[in-house]
Structure 1
């Protein structure tokens, strides 16, 4: 096998050597150069012909592009002329519209002046007419005056009629009749009794004898007194634990100075029911107590919240009763709540239940949390 492969390799190499020798001989003789030159010239001529065709095509396309460009220039010039014409027409039309607008404004101003003048004349005529009507009413009233609608006596009226007295004479004197129970001032339970001493003439005349009859007359007056209750609680110290304790104070006695329920209720009613300002309420209380009690504005302002917290259960009960009521009246008004402007929604039912809701907004946001939000009966504005 090795010998066969070597033979084939030698044979191939011999053929290649022979071909190379022939090609070398051709190069040495110049035939190869001649063939290559001819082949090169043939390729060059083919390329020159191709270049000529391409140059002709380029020239043709260039000429076509110039033609197209000239056509576009012509079209653009035509469009430019058309655009200039349309712009000129639009400017002309705008000038005409502006002139028409100016003319219309002048006509409007003239018409307004005319209307104003007519209104003035109409107002003048109406004023004169009202004056004449008042004069007519006054004269008519003067003509229609008689003893029934004025102080003119009936004897001076024209075609007067004598008024007959249809009452029967009883012979009684005018005023309260005997046996009629009088309407006197109601006496109260006396808080102080004063027994007046006997007159001096009774003391010096033995003919006067004391009877069983006693005349009593009352003088009713009011007075304002300041009652101050001071609680004392001894402090006890535990020597082992260091704990300090004292007796518990009554309910409501928390701060060093506390105000009782009567005073708080008085200020609440004065500020709310009587619509008295906080400053006037403070000054009024200070004047009543000769300057002994001077309550701060903040406390009076917080009375509404304090009373509202105490009546929360009652308000919830009224709220539930209103939801079951067949008819409910509602209204909304403006008011100042805690110094700020608010909308107050009023809900009332025929049995006397009334609730007030202060809100910062109206509409759907305002009725949230009120009886109106969940009410299913008939609602209407209060008359």
Structure 2
């Protein structure tokens, strides 16, 4: 017989199954499950609503902070624009003051020139009437220039054939230096030109004007070789080729470095020009520098010019200093004339020869302050030309040579 315990267990299980079956048939269990699900649903829906509210609050706070910073930036921008406007107004005022100061300075210089002209006219009349020379500082000295007025034209006239011969010889030189400087004649401005060859020959020329009128009649007018000069566009109309003075270029680059310290091209170009000049001075090869080295210099030259172009495109030159930008354009346009000395062993890198000769005249100009007539300047130039030629031939006996000319 089955065990009593097993029977009771089976009866319990049967009653439990009948009860569950009754609940399912009547829908009571489903209702309980639905109520439980609804409770859980309500809990989760409450959490979702709470999170949505927090998200909306956070979004509002983000918008508020962003609007606040926008307002701050707008206020800062308005303050910057006001400050910029005030700076522009002050700058315009300073420009007007600078222009007025320059105008006053120019007017004062013009007045000084008029007074100086009147002074020299009065001094000339006093010299003619009383034989006294009055210097600008008011001192009086014995009149000693009458003899000088007679000797200068005589010396110039007697040495004219030698100067013409030197003129013809200089035309045959493959390279020639030329330059000009300002002179003063009775308070007015004129020019003194100099032409010199590497072998030491040199001629001075007095001219009333600069430009083509000044070059007319000098050796440079008929010269067909290589001219060495500073960046005077007039000289590019004469000669067969041209070499620009790199001593001037180095000074211009140094000024650019001082006025444009944030740029790099001027420093690189200054170092490159110094390196090229040093290399050329140390070159002892009769056929000229190594073409590969010269090609390397030219490549670096172009790269530096490209750097300058980019720098000026990013930050254009200001209105107060454009010399650096103009120098860049000039070195780009006249690249051949800046590097000709690397290709031709006969061509020097600088125009120091012509500048050295002009300093002799400048010292005389400083002593005389001004000349009474243009003829005096012309006679002086002819005499200085002859003295240079004499020193070239026999530097130890210049006095004897001059004496023989007058004798």
Normalised TM-score (structure 1)? 0.31
Look at both structures and tell me which one has the larger radius of gyration over its CA atoms: 1
Normalised TM-score (structure 2)? 0.30
Structure that is richer in helix per residue: 2
Where relative contact order (Cα < 8 A, 6+ residues apart) is larger, the structure is 2
